[in-house]
């Protein structure tokens, strides 16, 4: 049990770090009255949106919690609620910090680039540590309660079901937050650009544009709150699934040892919070003044320090690194500390490579972004064609890395090895989220600098900070979807193990045939592969529709009050924010329910036609279909979108004719297309994959209990 206490301690440390750093950030100067007024409007809008979003989700959440309680019992329902509430809290706290740090970053950027970077990165680090810390606290605290005060054995069904329910709570909130926030931010962004830049010919972030506050609110509720909920979910699901799979797969050991083994992912997560905190203190501009370099110093410090930390943790938990334990599953002949250590090293390696590949595909220094910029010279059409080509191509290297990662981790320690590799990836979540959450703060800081007519040098600094944010945002998405690739295999492993466990309770007479030559497996793969496409279509359409409302509202404001464009009267920002809020909330519901309902519908439909065994086979294949297809859809959308965005930035830096050139116009089109790709549809595929898998696990448990 002391392992779990250490993990809880590390989780609390992360929260303390968050509180301490929040005091530092809030102590910085919030600037003059104009800046504070603008920041106040953004704060108000963000708070109003999140309030509406959470009260809508709460309705769905309560209905689902009741269903969970009915089918799986009260403990699972409590797990569900803990996951849901903390996921929401992670998003809320992140957003709260972010909307206060933006104006302080702008003010600090008056002094120097370093000062601006410090405030913005600290704000990101608070969100990062709170996401990792709260996620770790949720799992380890709940696990402690179940195996301690509640007195269950670690491999008790109730413990397993409750951990899955905890993950479900986190995932369900996360998909709503990702999608709702994603629709909000891109509807506002696209709408503001279309009517502002294109029609009225006013620059980005111009205070005369009624949608400008909504655009800035969007950065906070989408890129910050939505992203935080997403990564919270990824952490809880991955670590939770590793624990569940350990309980299901490692047999022939006593409960005390199993308890330790299930605690290993927790303590690894805990120690990596400490290495992440150390990493945050390394983020400092070097002589080259490279912002990306400064951020990388933090990331690499964390990654490298995590290697000995993971080794020592494994050695301490298991007693030594070489004793083989567990039965001979997967043909790996049992497991050893060294095998698990190597698996986790695979996870770190996959993370590092995905970070590097994503930078290659979205950074302005490399071929992909430059090829899009060059294609912009011949117009809108060729810009988009080249951007789509890059987005398709950008799936190749990450897939190869994941494939090699799967093979190496499996060769080291079988399916458990893949699970521990995924856990090690997520152990770095605190640092990765810190890099990401820094982005919306600098984006907002730039907007505030522009709107409050701060000195041009400030805007240059915030722009430099923001350009890097595009890449770090793409990195997090690649990282999240890459880890989802591994986590989904773990969840599928849990599904097949559960099927074996529940075999007779479900009324099955033989093992389910998951062979590819079973046509119901193919049917499941096809239906699963369809889901990200349908989901993506819904997300893209939603943004288009909501952006259309924004365009109409802004046109109406311009038409009814001619003083707005002359800069004489203040536009009604709140009306636009409110309009986007309503549109985003309305649009997020149906797509979010797709992954919840699809597994249930597919199981019952196929079971009705071809018997329950084929129903379970099709459902299992659906889980793999959704990851096999979702991985590509998400990677192509997030990398492609990032590349389009930075191709525009590259042109704005004076290449291919610079701002206002024909190439720049084309690049703006590409950026607009990339917006819903990278910030709405693409990243939401990640929680979608996980929900589909978790619902399948819960369906099994519910059917077994009822059957």
**Window 510 to 569, contacts with a second copy (CB under 8 A):** 514-517, 519-523, 525-527, 529-530, 533-534, 536-538, 540-541, 543-544, 547-548, 551
Angle, to 10 degrees, between the axis of helix 337-362 and the axis of helix 396-427?
A: 130
> CB of residue 395 vs a second copy: minimum separation in angstroms?
5
CA 315/CA 285 separation, integer angstroms? 36
**Which of the residues 655 through 674 are near a second copy (CB under 8 A)?**
668-669, 671-673
Comparing CB distances to a second copy, the nearer of 283 and 525 is 525
Residues 6 or more apart in contact with residue 531 via CB below 8 angstroms = 594, 595, 598, 622, 625, 626, 629, 630, 688, 692
> CB of residue 532 vs a second copy: minimum separation in angstroms?
9
Contact 477, 432 (CB under 8 A): no
**Which of the residues 185 through 214 are near a second copy (CB under 8 A)?**
190, 193-194, 198
DSSP state of 321: S
DSSP state of 694: H
Which of 150, 153, 292, 610 touches a second copy (CB under 8 A)?
Answer: 610
Binding of residue 312 to a second copy (CB under 8 A): no
> CB of residue 519 vs a second copy: minimum separation in angstroms?
5
**Which of the residues 152 through 191 are near a second copy (CB under 8 A)?**
190
> How many other CB atoms sit within 10 Å of the CB of residue 203?
11
Alpha-carbon torsion 177, 183, 187, 189, what sign? positive
Which of 34, 290, 382, 661 touches a second copy (CB under 8 A)?
Answer: 382
Comparing CB distances to a second copy, the nearer of 217 and 546 is 546
Which among 178, 167, 117 is positioned nearest to 638, based on CA atoms? 178
**Which of the residues 632 through 651 are near a second copy (CB under 8 A)?**
632, 636
Comparing CB distances to a second copy, the nearer of 1 and 534 is 534
Comparing CB distances to a second copy, the nearer of 234 and 636 is 636
3-state secondary structure 247-289: HHHCCCCCHHHHHHHHHHHHHHHHHHHHHHHHHHCCCCCCCCC
> CB of residue 368 vs a second copy: minimum separation in angstroms?
10
**Which of the residues 441 through 500 are near a second copy (CB under 8 A)?**
485, 489, 492-493, 496
Comparing CB distances to a second copy, the nearer of 541 and 661 is 541
What does the radius of gyration of the chain's CA atoms come to, in whole angstroms?
24
Residue 284 φ/ψ, nearest 5 degrees: -150, 140
Which region among 150-158, 379-387, 419-427, 652-660 touches a second copy (by CB under 8 A)?
379-387
Which of 17, 410, 438, 479 touches a second copy (CB under 8 A)?
Answer: 410
3-state secondary structure 165-220: HHHHHHHHHHHHHHHHHHHHHHHHHHHHHHHHHHHHCCCCCCCCCCCHHHHHHHHH
Comparing CB distances to a second copy, the nearer of 41 and 422 is 422
CA 561/CA 567 separation, integer angstroms? 11
Comparing CB distances to a second copy, the nearer of 120 and 211 is 211
The position carrying tokens 């969007």 is 218
Which region among 66-74, 250-258, 288-296, 373-381 touches a second copy (by CB under 8 A)?
373-381
Which among 76, 15, 204 is positioned nearest to 664, based on CA atoms? 204
> CB of residue 173 vs a second copy: minimum separation in angstroms?
25
**Which of the residues 611 through 630 are near a second copy (CB under 8 A)?**
620-621, 624-625, 628-629
């Amino acid at each position: 049990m002391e392992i779990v206490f250490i993990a809880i301690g590390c989780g609390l440390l992360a929260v303390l770090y968050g509180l301490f750093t929040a005091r530092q950030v809030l102590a910085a100067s919030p600037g003059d009255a104009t800046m504070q007024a603008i920041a106040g409007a953004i704060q108000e809008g963000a708070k109003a949106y999140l309030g509406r979003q959470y009260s809508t989700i709460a309705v769905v959440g309560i209905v689902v919690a009741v269903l969970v309680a009915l089918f799986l019992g009260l403990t699972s329902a409590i797990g569900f609620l803990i996951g849901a509430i903390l996921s929401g809290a992670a998003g809320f706290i992140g957003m709260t910090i972010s909307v206060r740090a933006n104006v302080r970053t702008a003010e600090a950027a008056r002094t120097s680039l370093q000062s601006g970077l410090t405030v913005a990165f600290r704000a990101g680090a608070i969100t990062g540590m709170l996401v990792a810390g709260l996620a770790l606290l949720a799992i380890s605290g709940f696990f402690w309660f179940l195996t301690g005060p509640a007195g269950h054995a670690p491999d008790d069904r109730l413990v397993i079901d409750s951990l899955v329910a905890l993950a479900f709570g986190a995932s369900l909130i996360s998909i709503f937050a990702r999608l709702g926030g994603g629709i909000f931010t891109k509807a506002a962004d696209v709408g503001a650009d279309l009517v502002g830049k294109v029609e009225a010919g006013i620059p980005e972030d111009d205070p005369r544009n009624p949608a400008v506050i909504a655009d800035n609110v969007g950065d906070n509720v989408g890129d910050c709150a939505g992203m935080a909920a997403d990564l919270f979910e990824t952490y809880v699901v991955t670590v939770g699934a590793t624990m569940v799979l350990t309980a299901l797969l490692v047999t022939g050991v006593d409960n005390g040892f199993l308890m330790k083994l299930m605690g290993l992912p927790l303590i690894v997560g805990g120690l990596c919070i400490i290495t992440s905190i150390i990493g945050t203190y390394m983020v400092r501009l070097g002589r080259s003044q490279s912002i990306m370099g400064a951020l990388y110093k933090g990331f690499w410090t964390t990654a490298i320090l995590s290697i000995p930390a993971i080794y020592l943790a494994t050695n301490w938990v298991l007693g030594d690194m070489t004793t083989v334990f567990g039965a001979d599953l997967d043909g790996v002949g049992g497991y050893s500390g060294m095998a698990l250590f190597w698996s986790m090293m695979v996870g770190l390696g996959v993370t590092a490579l995905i970070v590097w590949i994503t930078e290659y595909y979205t950074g302005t220094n490399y071929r992909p972004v430059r090829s899009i910029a060059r294609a912009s010279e011949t117009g809108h059409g060729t810009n988009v064609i080249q951007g789509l080509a890059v987005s398709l191509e950008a799936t190749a290297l990450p897939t190869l890395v994941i494939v090699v990662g799967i093979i190496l981790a499996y060769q080291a320690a079988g399916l458990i090895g893949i699970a521990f590799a995924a856990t090690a990836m997520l152990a770095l979540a605190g640092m990765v989220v810190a890099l990401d959450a820094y982005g919306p703060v600098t984006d907002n800081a730039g907007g505030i600098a522009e709107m409050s007519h701060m000195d041009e040098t400030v805007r240059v600094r915030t722009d430099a900070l923001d350009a890097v944010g595009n890449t770090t945002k793409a990195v997090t998405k690649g990282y999240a979807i890459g880890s989802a690739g591994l986590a989904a295999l773990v969840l599928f492993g849990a599904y097949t193990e559960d099927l074996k466990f529940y075999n007779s309770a479900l009324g099955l007479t033989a093992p389910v045939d998951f062979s590819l030559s079973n046509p119901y497996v193919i049917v499941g793969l096809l239906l699963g592969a369809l889901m990200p496409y349908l989901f993506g279509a819904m997300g893209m359409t939603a943004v288009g529709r909501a952006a259309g409302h924004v365009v109409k509202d802004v046109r109406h404001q311009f038409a009814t009050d001619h003083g707005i464009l002359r800069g004489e009267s203040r536009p009604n920002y709140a009306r636009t924010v409110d309009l986007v809020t309503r549109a985003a909330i309305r649009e997020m519901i149906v797509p979010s329910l797709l992954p919840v309902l699809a597994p249930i519908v597919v199981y019952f439909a196929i079971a009705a036609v071809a018997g329950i065994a084929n129903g379970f086979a099709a459902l299992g294949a659906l889980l793999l279909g959704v990851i096999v297809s979702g991985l590509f859809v998400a990677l192509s959308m997030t990398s492609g979108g990032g590349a389009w965005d930075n191709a525009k930035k590259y042109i704005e830096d004076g290449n291919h004719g610079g701002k206002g050139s024909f190439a720049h116009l084309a690049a703006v089109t590409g950026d607009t297309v990339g917006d819903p790709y990278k910030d709405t549809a693409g990243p939401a595929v990640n929680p979608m994959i996980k929900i589909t898998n978790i619902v399948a696990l819960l369906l099994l448990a519910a059917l077994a209990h009822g059957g």
